[in-house]
């Protein structure tokens, strides 16, 4: 199979072995074999974030946004509120979910180029004792900004609220320790950090909190956390049909995850990111986010003002040579992202930079890159 290198923030580049693992004879998802694999991967989902027996993984069929949806629609009681800390496009999506379900929430907005202001969070909790859930994105995947979820969680606990974090772009990418960091809920998806196929997402959360949700409002039939959990607890099965072939790819991806190791994997993503960052800086490109705030896994590169710059031409040139880019339009500027997720290493980044540079030359974009101010 032709290998393509995805500089996307998910779906990530997968290995040949993970791709092939999903080709299996047709099988009922209710067969013991599939149920055993689901049991096993659920335990791994907790282990990846260093959770003990007091944590449980609840998987469901869907992309990462469903994990956000499950948490938000299930964790807020009828007299409580969610506090959504918004400093980017993904936390803004959480606002959209609350709006859609009519969940009572407070939106605390920050500029998109800085991490969350902790003092403002604490003041909000002081003023509103009915806040039950404090929600933030760990990494805002558009800007590459990392938010201090450990501190946010401890502030939440001080005011009897729970800390719920969108870790979709950091889970199995960088080390996360839910026990040490006192994280109540976090999230993962198969096409992101674990480098498998799209199809399964999950919430890892404190069992004791989920057990208490029984009488909370059921705002969704398909994606209520308590209902999904109950089926797993009492019947050992996912409530609805799992994406069986995807589950096989996950099993293989997890075997490769443990083989590579948490620290090695994180170091690999970081070194790919460093090569990309140095390469684009050498060409004179600017990143949207201050370098000191970057997570080390996503770059949001500002498009130049050169009149020959044509993103789609650059994209198509790279695409034809096996490299996938991801455009983003946010705030006032145009940018494109280079994410170093997935089964890639520095050699891929070096090869990409060569192709990218040729694309600039062939389309007549001046290097060093020009920005008007
Ligand atoms: C990828 C991602 C999501 C979910 O996106 P899907 O397209 O639904 O998989 C949510 N939050 C963050 C921070 C992400 O990076």
Instruction: Flag the least confident range among 38-42, 109-113, 258-262, 266-270.
Output: 109-113
Residue 226 phi/psi, 5-degree rounding, is -65, -45
**SS3 for 36-83, per residue?**
HHHHHHHHHHHHHCCCCCCEEEEEEECCHHHHHHHHHHHCCCCCCEEE
Residue 330 pLDDT level (bands cut at 50, 70, 90): low
Give, as one character, the DSSP assignment of residue 12.
P
Q: Which residue has the tokens 């994990």?
A: 67
Q: Residues 133-153: pLDDT tens digits?
A: 999 999 999 899 999 999 999
Look at residue 101 in the predicted model and tell me its pLDDT.
Answer: 97
Q: Are strands 298-302 and 323-324 parallel, antiparallel or unpaired?
A: unpaired
Q: For the beta carbon of residue 328, count every other beta carbon within 10 angstroms.
A: 19
Q: Ligand 1 in contact with 10 (CB < 6 A)?
A: yes
* Ligand 1 atom nearest 138 alpha carbon: 13
Q: Whose CA is nearest to atom 2 of ligand 1?
A: 168
Task: Please give the number of the atom of ligand 1 that sits closest to the Cα of 65.
Answer: 8
With a cut of 90, say whether residue 159 has pLDDT above it: yes
Question: How sure is the predictor about 238, in pLDDT bands with cuts at 50, 70 and 90?
Answer: very high
Is the pLDDT score of 34 beyond 90?
Answer: yes
User: Does 108 contact ligand 1 (Cβ within 6 A)?
Assistant: no
Which protein residue has the closest C-alpha to ligand 1 atom 12? 168
Confidence class for position 46, pLDDT limits 50, 70, 90? very high
Q: Which of 48, 8, 76, 1 is nearest to 315 (CA)?
A: 8
Tokens of 74: 């299930």
Ligand 1 pocket mutation, candidates 8, 90, 172, criterion most atoms within 8 A of CB: 90
Chain segment 276-294, per-residue pLDDT in tens: 999 999 999 999 889 999 9
Predicted TM-score (pTM) of the model is 0.96
* Whole-number pLDDT of residue 326: 82
């Amino acid at each position: 199979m032709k290998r393509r290198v995805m500089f996307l923030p998910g779906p990530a580049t997968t290995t040949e072995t993970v791709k092939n693992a999903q080709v299996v004879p047709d099988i009922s998802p209710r067969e013991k074999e599939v149920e055993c694999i689901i049991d096993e991967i659920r335990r791994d989902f907790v282990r990846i974030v260093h959770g003990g027996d007091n944590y449980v993984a609840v998987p469901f069929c869907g992309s990462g946004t469903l994990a956000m949806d499950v948490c938000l629609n299930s964790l807020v009681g009828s007299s409580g509120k969610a506090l959504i800390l918004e400093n980017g496009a993904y936390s803004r999506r959480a606002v959209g979910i609350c709006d859609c379900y009519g969940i009572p929430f407070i939106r605390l907005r920050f500029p998109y180029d800085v991490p969350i202001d902790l003092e403002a969070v604490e003041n909000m909790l002081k003023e509103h004792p009915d806040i039950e859930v404090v929600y933030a994105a760990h990494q805002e995947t558009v800007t590459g900004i990392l938010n201090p979820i450990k501190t946010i969680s401890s502030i939440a606990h001080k005011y009897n609220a729970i800390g719920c974090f969108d870790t979709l772009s950091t889970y199995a990418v960088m080390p996360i320790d839910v026990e040490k960091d006192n994280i109540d809920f976090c999230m993962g998806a198969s096409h992101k950090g674990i480098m498998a196929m799209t199809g399964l997402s999950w919430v890892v959360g404190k069992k004791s909190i989920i057990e208490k949700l029984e009488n909370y409002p059921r705002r969704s039939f398909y994606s209520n956390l308590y209902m999904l959990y109950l089926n797993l607890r009492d019947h050992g099965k996912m409530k609805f049909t799992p994406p069986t072939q995807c589950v096989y790819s996950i099993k293989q991806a997890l075997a490769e995850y443990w083989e590579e190791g948490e620290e090695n994997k994180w170091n690999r993503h970081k070194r790919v990111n460093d090569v990309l960052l140095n390469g684009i800086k050498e060409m004179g490109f600017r990143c949207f986010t201050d370098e000191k705030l970057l997570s080390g896994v996503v770059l949001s590169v500002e498009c130049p003002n050169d009149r020959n710059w044509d993103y789609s031409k650059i994209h198509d040139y790279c695409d034809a040579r096996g490299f996938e880019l991801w455009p983003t339009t946010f705030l006032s500027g145009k940018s494109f992202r280079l994410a170093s997720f997935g089964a890639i290493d520095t050699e891929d980044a070096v090869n990409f930079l060569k192709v990218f540079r040729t694309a600039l030359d062939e389309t007549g974009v001046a290097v060093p890159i020009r920005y008007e101010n």
